[in-house]
Structure 1
Amino acid sequence: MSWYTSVFGKRACAAVVTATSLTLMLGGCTSYDRYSAEDARKDAKEGAALTPGAVDCAKARCIALTFDAGPSAYTPQLLDTLKKEKVHATFFLLGRDHVVEHPDLVRRIADEGHEVANHTWSHKILTELDADGVREELTRTQEAVEKITGHRPTLMRPPQGRTDDRVSEVSRELGLAQIMWSATAKDYSTNDSALIEKRILDQADKDGIILLHDIYRGTVPAVPGIIETLKERGYTFVTVPELLAPGVAEPGKVYKP
């Protein structure tokens, strides 16, 4: 079992959702305000408009496909699938052993129109770190991605979805919004592609954010079926920024469907 599988195999924070906040019940987590894609669109600055030709997710049935912890040896096959299906995704990249080991893949992800985002340097649980530790985990990946692509990410996903006021403050300082998810296959626990596909299809909904990992053997083969079925159901695939448009993800805020 890899260190990553072991980490992800631990129970994530239990969530109790109210109209205004998500309360995380596991030690080290605190309550925080969460914002939806609809909130972001409503909060768009006066005069903000969609890019010409962009899908209007206030009207369309949009869903965002996201991948954590890559790139890996499975990522080229995934990129081939996304290119064939004309789908753009959001990749939350892990710095150590991934970004630095696969610069050509990071460059390809960006060049093919996908959103490049931050999943920390070494997948440490950010709520267990002091401010300097959080800053280092995020900054090192920011710098590594910028060195390869010429651009710094504006989105990040905290490992296991664990965040608190300190993490939010450092994220705000670094210009990073926090992006959670609404559908997960728990693909760290199975290589059964059919099961991964079913779990995502069962949870898919408008304005949803799908969480998968392009580092596990069973995940990438499940993607074509997920895309085909959701397209048949009338969904349009978008990146996270496109999901929020014409709103913009604000640094430090937590966005969760």
Structure 2
Amino acid sequence: MPQWTKKLAEKKTKRPASWLRGAAVVSVAVSLALTLTGCGNDMTAPSSARNAATTTQVARLGTVDCREVKCIALTFDAGPSEHSAQLLDILREKQVPATFFLLGKRHIEKYPELVRRMAAEGHEVASHTWDHKILTEISEDQIRDELKRPNDAIERLIGRRPTLMRPPQGRTNETVQRISREEGLAEVLWSVTAKDYTTTDSALIKKRVLDQAGRDGIILLHDLYDGTVPAVPGIIDALKERGYVFVTVPQLLAPGKAEPGKVYRP
């Protein structure tokens, strides 16, 4: 393990860490490195997905057209959490949709009512695997289990199966993509990270997001960290002032549609 990653993994927080808090520190740190350096796989930008849309898909386009307006997507990983209800209240007040990449074990299991609320209030409900295993380091059967179990749980709760997945650490390869395609899932990475696993300073989280934000951006946040949700209202207000329109990931790709087995990143 690189020394800088090890130091982040050993960093202590003010309150006792759960299994995910410790894992996510390493996860996001390594993910950032992969995002900056690339992971050697073909990726599709939102604009490319839109340009590839068929005439039929264009005819079905909703009220937000990201070909014409400056769109950006808020996404939240590793929930639901104890902070998700407050986050949903903020998003409802601000009239902003988001995409939630949910964990199964200890999250979907623990907060089923929040999963239902996310869907009912118009947010995109997606998967972040069942137990946050690194998909490139486990067997094909284990990959299928990590992808299938949260999809089954989400479908039971909201009546529809997720079509999007975010791999832990952003780690993917041809095997993960093939199995994702078999499970009907497209992978979604990101272009903006606040590194909210390193700080409880909401002002700093906001600054990091605003410094990186751009058209067609996909913002990665985690509502389980104490400083993140308080930063969200300021992030939304500042980006709206800059002329951004908030959309879900499917809306960002529209009139195109996420294709199973593909990896999407701005």
* TM-score > 0.5, shorter chain as reference: yes
Query: How much does 1:2 deviate?
Result: 2.5
Q: How does 1:132-151 map to 2 (within 5 A)?
A: 132-151=141-160
TM-aligned CA distance change 1:50 to 1:7, over 3 Å: farther
| Higher mean displacement: 51-60 or 95-104 | 51-60
Counterpart residue number, 1:4? 20
Partners of 1:65 and 1:36 in 2: CA distance: 16
Provide the rounded CA distance (Å) in 1 between the counterparts of 2:256 and 2:236. Answer: 25
* Shift >6 Å, 4+ stretches: none
Unpaired runs of 5+ in structure 2?
1-16
Structure with more strand by fraction: 1
Partner of 2:6: none
What SS class does the counterpart of residue 65 from structure 1 fall into? strand
- The structure whose residues are more often helix, as a share, is 2
1:28 alignment counterpart: none
Match of 1:232 among 227, 230, 241: 241
Question: Following superposition of structure 1 onto structure 2, how do residues 66-215 of structure 1 map, counting pairs within 5 Å?
Answer: 66-215=75-224
Give the distance between the partners of 1:15 and 1:171, measured in 2 at CA.
Answer: 20
SS at match of 1:48: helix
SS in 1 for 2:24: helix
What secondary structure, in the 3-state scheme, does the structure 1 residue paired with 2:66 have? coil
Is the alpha carbon distance of 1:51 and 1:123 closer, same or farther for their aligned partners in structure 2, counting shifts above 3 Å? same
Matches within 5 A, 1:20-39: 23-24=38-39, 31-39=40-48
When the two structures are superposed, what TM-score results if normalisation uses the length of structure 2?
A: 0.90
- How far residue 15 of structure 1 moved from its aligned partner, in angstroms, is 3.8
**Following TM superposition, by how much is the alpha carbon of 1:189 offset from its aligned partner in structure 2, in angstroms?**
1.4
Secondary structure class of the residue paired with 2:100: strand
- Measured after TM superposition, the shift of residue 199 of structure 1 is 0.4
User: What count of residue pairs does the alignment treat as equivalent?
Assistant: 247
Structure 1: segments with no counterpart, 5+ residues? 25-30
- CA deviations on 1:75-124 (whole Å, 9 max, x unpaired) are 01100000000000000000000001111000000000000000000101
Using structure 1 for the length normalisation, give the TM-score: 0.93
